[in-house]
Amino acid sequence: MSAATALSPTDAGAILFGVFFLLLFLRVPVAFALGLACLPILLIEPHLTAMSLVQETFNAYNSFILLAVPFYLLAANLMNVGGITDRLVRLSRALVGHFPGALAQVNVVLSIFFAGISGSSTADAASQGKIFIEAQRKEGYDDSFNAAITAVSAVLAVIVPPSILMIVWGGVLTVSIGGLFLAGVIPGLAIGLVQMATVHVYAKARGYPTYPRATLVEGIKAFGVSVPALLTPVIIIGGKIFGWFTPTEAACIAVLYAIALALFVYREMTARGLHDALLDTGRFAAVTLFCVGTASAFGWLLAYYQIPKAIIESVMVWEMGPIGTGFFIAAAFLVVGCFLDAIPAIIIVGTILEPLAKAVGMHPIHFAMIGIVSLAFGLVTPPYGLCLLISCSIANIRVVDALKDTMIMLAPMFGVLVLVILWPDFVLILPKLISPEFLK
């Protein structure tokens, strides 16, 4: 890297970001905009050729860790076609059906259970959108509320372990994935709780319906049929913590377990359902991961010109303390999350900010959780909030129409993010207690 480059870092940065945002604005798909932004530089710079783009995308896909992404999506899709989700709906209803805004509470609680099995928010938004949005509409809930609550509760899937974002973060920035899994538990549950409180306030204000309290017998029955499904997070997270499996293997176990449940325990999977689950997984995983390849090429060029170092040096001048840095990191990820999918954002921005976090002595897991929670919020912020896009398309409303309710629901969730920033032990306490070796 010390060799002289034809372009100055400033020019290279201007070309990369300029072309990228211009193409994005002209509605070129994100993955292609990232790749095309690299092209002028690859052609200008004498040491580089267009083949670097092919080589860098190849290097990005040639990764055993990323393989966890299709597996977690497949596990989620199999849960839906195999009757596992239905059992968890029944359990959630027995638990919170008697709260005001019953169905919306069930929506949130199911997301917490779902998050413990799947690691994909988009899979959560797609499947729960289909279950809840129409049902809530029939019970008189407003459409903007339905789309918003489905989208914001879906973000739990990447905060509560297991999580695709944690696996990618751990893989790209070399942080213990087991440690990240444990760190996500408390913030994830806290966000779930504030969402339930938000639903409560909405339900009281707008008179949303309540179900009769489930009898103890029904509660026990609902729990009984859900036990096999509820064991999934125990197997995945336990297996990771005790070092039985790698993250990718744990995701594969989730798939095998979901298949076993669907075939032998709940026996609801049809050939059609299986076909759709597989095709859906392939389509979605590939489109998501393709973008990881071009994002990696983009990030590689940024590093080639040492642009991250230049950015960090200019930020260091402000001399922010750990807390100021925490807020800065959150703000950076929140802004980037509005325009970029979370995985490419980790690859590009996570690597840029890492030295900044290190410089103020922030623990790598603490830094990761600030980033992951902020990026999770980015899943519901327009213009590029995939979960909100999905839930609005299922509800058949425009994103702008759901925006106000989404922002209202996000406000208390920001409270949890602030807590994560101000109080490192909020995320670090579980890893400290359960397996301190992850913190080294």
Partner 1 sequence: MSDVRPAPARERWRAFTAWYSRALSWLLIASVTILVVPVSMQIFSRFTALIPHYIWTEEMARFLFIWMIMIGAMVGVRESTHFEVDVWPRLGARADAALKLFSALAVLVMAIVFVWSGIEFTRFAWNRISELAELPLWLIHVAWPVAGVTWIVFLGEQAWDAAAVLFGRAAA
Binding footprint of partner 1 on the chain (CB under 8 A)? 23-33, 35-36, 39, 49-51, 53-55, 57-58, 61-64, 66-67, 70-71, 74, 244-245, 248-249, 252-253, 255-256, 275, 278-279, 281-283, 285-287, 289-291, 293, 339, 341, 383-384, 386
Nearer to partner 1 among residue 206 and residue 283 (C-beta):
283
- Hey, how many other C-beta atoms are within 10 angstroms of the C-beta on 63? 17
Q: How far is the CB of 205 from partner 1 (least distance, A)?
A: 31
The nearer residue to partner 1, 3 or 26, going by C-beta atoms, is 26
> In whole angstroms, what is the distance from residue 106 CA to residue 91 CA?
9
Nearer to partner 1 among residue 56 and residue 124 (C-beta): 56
> Given the complex with partner 1, which of 208 and 290 has the nearer CB atom?
290
Minimal distance, residue 191 CB to partner 1, in Å: 24
Shortest distance in whole angstroms from residue 268 CB to partner 1? 19
CB of 150 to partner 1, least distance (A): 19
For the bound state, the minimum distance from the C-beta of residue 91 to partner 1, rounded and expressed in Å, comes to: 28
The least CB distance from residue 46 to partner 1, in Å, is 16
Three-state SS for the chain is CCCCCCCCHHHHHHHHHHHHHHHHHCCCCHHHHHHHHHHHHHHHCCCCCCHHHHHHHHHHHCCCCCCHHHHHHHHHHHHHHCCHHHHHHHHHHHHHCCCCCHHHHHHHHHHHHHHHHCCCHHHHHHHHHHHHHHHHHHCCCCHHHHHHHHHHHHCHHHHCCCCHHHHHHHHHHCCCHHHHHHHHHHHHHHHHHHHHHHHHHHHHHHCCCCCCCCCHHHHHHHHHHHHHHHHHHHHHHHHHHCCCCCHHHHHHHHHHHHHHHHHHHCCCCCHHHHHHHHHHHHHHHHHHHHHHHHHHHHHHHHHHCCHHHHHHHHHHCCCCCHHHHHHHHHHHHHHHHHHCCHHHHHHHHHHHHHHHHHHCCCCHHHHHHHHHHHHHHHCCCCCCCHHHHHHHHHHCCCHHHHHHHHHHHHHHHHHHHHHHHHCCHHHHHHHHHHCHHHHC
Q: How far is the CB of 225 from partner 1 (least distance, A)?
A: 26
* Cβ nearer to partner 1, comparing 70 with 431: 70
282, 286, 335, 426 from 422: Cα distances, Å:
40, 37, 20, 9
Q: How far is the CB of 250 from partner 1 (least distance, A)?
A: 9
Compare residues 57 and 121 and give the one whose CB is closer to partner 1.
57
Q: Minimum distance from CB of 98 to partner 1 (Å)? A: 40
Cβ-based nearer residue to partner 1, 186 or 250: 250
In the complex with partner 1, which residue's Cβ is closer, 10 or 55? 55
Rank residues 10 and 49 by Cβ distance to partner 1 and give the closer one.
49
